[in-house]
Structure 1
Amino acid sequence: MIEMKFSSTDKEALVYKVTEYFENELGQNIGNFEAEFLIDFFIELIGPALFNKGLNSAYRLLTERMDEFYYTVQEQEKPSPYEL
Structure 2
Amino acid sequence: MSEALIRLDATERAELAIKLRDYCDREIGVEIGNFDAEFMLDFMISRLGVLCYNQGLLDAQAAIAKRVDTLTEAIGELEKSPPRR
What TM-score, normalized to structure 2? 0.83
* Separation in structure 1 between the aligned mates of residue 65 and residue 19 of structure 2, nearest angstrom: 36
Q: Which residue of 2 aligns with 1:70?
A: 72
Alignment of 1:21 with 2:40, yes or no, is: no
Give every structure 1 segment of 4 or more consecutive aligned residues whose post-TM-superposition deviation is greater than 6 Å: none
Pairing of 1:3-82 with structure 2 (within 5 A): 3=4, 4-81=6-83
Q: State the aligned residue count.
A: 81
C-alpha displacement at 1:56, in angstroms? 0.9
Shift, 1:29, TM fit: 1.1
Deviation at 1:8, TM superposition (A): 1.2
Gaps of 5+ in 1: none
Residues 9-55 of structure 1 show CA distances to partners (whole Å, capped at 9, x for unaligned) of: 11111111101101111112111110000010011112112211110
Identity of aligned residues (%): 35
**For residue 28 of structure 1, what is the amino acid of its counterpart?**
V
Higher RCO (C-alpha under 8 Å, 6+ residues apart): 2
Once the two structures are TM-superposed, the CA of residue 77 in structure 1 deviates from its matched residue by: 2.9
RMSD value, Cα: 1.6
